[in-house]
Structure 1
């Protein structure tokens, strides 16, 4: 099916997601790693949830935050990957205007939730290393629940204006989105009216959500590094620092692709379009896919539970 990019309209009933421009003939082959990533993300995150639920030793704040991260990753992938696979497998590129706005909300809301949870996990590591004797008295289960609800409320309130602002725009040039999903900035680029409010709000949210979260994480790790260097031996310092390894890997997996994706959308006009789409898609896929692997490999209690689950049962 071919789509004209010169259609005149003001209120589109549908948008067209192009997929990966220039690589349409390879969509079936590209779908293979995307399918593997989706299956592994679903399996890995559900496994983390099951292990934490059934292993009493893991009923601690750090693992409660890990469960929040797993649920966030499940929702984030499920809000985007099924539609991507429909594009690859069935050339089903149309997406209803309201469905596009709904997907936009879920993408931005749960991306901010993930950022907030990573900040909370940084607080957990700070208290565990810098104030170990007060850790359990400060980071109680009710406080963990309050932090989770606060992160959700903040993210929901900040994400809600994205679809509302996009809905008020007039789209009179084209309804073709050169991407695999309905990101706010990709939709806004199609409008033929003034979009400065949308752009300013996007930058404001980037600063007040991911930006401030990253600052708080950086401050936490500055204090953690200071505490580590006060330890008496090299082995003690290394062992303590290694307890932060999984969290640091999750931070890199989330913030670096997120920053790169945002910069490409705004300043990457010279990048090939297919490269642009693949990179921005990886931003949504890497964390849900790799977080369960990172925590499964690096967390002794999760390793032991996994071995118990999948080892042959004695008869």
Structure 2
């Protein structure tokens, strides 16, 4: 009896871009793109939450300056950038200017005048505003004042003051100013805040030393709480992990598909009979 021929084996396309894999490629591109975009959106939302909280802290109801820091206290770093009110007397003879301060594309000076804090013998420097030239700065104010501004720590850089004889400084370093004034100084300074609508500070007295000087934003802002925006950040990480998992699943599927059946597994091999399973010849007893 003639042996049966096994049906011819159809070759399976094994190229990375074979039509049978187009669907898998399209799905992984769509899913990963969506996961990345959703993760970016959640991350941006977490950052926006932090910015919103900082803006809220910067425009919170001002506290009394003397409630946050004492004359001999170290700077309270947890209060950086917080709104405060300083009441006292201007000391115009102690006015200084800080060089190299930018405002947009211009570089000019901060006009800074200390205030002798009420009921103390210590003074705090107040940044009244920005001016393009020292000569064009308005005269320093005099008399009593209650100024609203943002609490800032003493500046410190490695820039040396090469001009010891004038009132222009490269930075607002309180430790450097102590040796040049006859007053005890707080370990902080205040940046005068502008009058803004819908902010409690706008209803409080603002110093008249702001005339003819541009507003200065707070150099250092308060830090948002560590948990602010955390939920959105975790959502962002979760979406990105989904994208990585989708790539893994796609890779496994493509690998298994391209691997195909092993050689010889997809063909019917002729079975070789063994002594154990070989058919026994029927023996007919011979006639005697």
TM-score (norm 1): 0.20
- Structure with greater strand percent: 2
| Higher-Rg member (1/2) | 2
Q: Name whichever structure is richer in helix by fraction.
A: 1
